[in-house]
Amino acid sequence: MFDQERATREWLDKIRKTFESSGKLVTEAVMFCRKDRNGVVHQEDEPPMVIAGLIDLDDQEQRDFVQQETIRNECFFAIVANEIWRASANADDAEGVALITRAKQEGTDFKDLPPQYRQELVRVFAEGESTPIRLWEAPIARDGDKPTLGEWSEVPVKLPRPNFKRYLAERNEAGGYVLKVRF
């Protein structure tokens, strides 16, 4: 049987090693599939993988691309990694809250905010057909010659409804795929 926990841990380790050796992250998705590109069915304990770079795609385009690939390749598990900027300020920091609010309204990139209000992260989603989506994040520190990646922490994900899927297409009662607008 395919071990989702082990696959996720291995991919998180791979991301860390790649990031720390090169100083950057390639936004990518790895999908574990039932069939290979030639249509040959494989056992689930040794599934073929599809690895796709998600370069120059925004968040919605990434989700759409991964969904289409998971349908086309009959994938049952997907891991998606990307780099993000997050902005935050304490509620009692009126200046910080105002800067972040203005940046959101004007569509300003969070990386242009003052350092005390921004954080750069690597974010990794893992989702299976029979398991809910999970999220890990690790902060990026750029203090020396090469950036480093902090410790991974699992972040709770609030699903908009039971059995929600972000990257894998949901199935309807007839076994067909249902593509829905994602969060």
Written as one letter, the residue type at 180 is: K
pLDDT of residue 177: 62
Task: Quote the pLDDT of residue 48.
Answer: 78
pLDDT for residue 172: 67
Helix (H) or strand (E) holding 78: strand 75-87
Side-chain-side CA neighbours of 101 within 13 Å: the count stands at 8
- Calpha distance 10→75 (Å, rounded): 18
Residue ranges in the chain whose pLDDT is less than 70: 35-45, 171-183
Q: Residue 126: what pLDDT?
A: 94
Q: Which two tokens stand for residue 28?
A: 């990518």
Q: In whole angstroms, what is the distance from residue 136 CA to residue 139 CA?
A: 10
Whose CA is closest to 123, among 64, 158, 83?
83
pLDDT of residue 182: 46
Domain ranges within the chain, ordered by starting residue:
4-85+121-178
DSSP letter at 169 equals: P
At 183 the pLDDT is: 43
pLDDT of 180: 55
Supply the pTM of this predicted model.
0.81
- Give the N- to C-terminal CA distance of the chain in Å, as an integer: 30
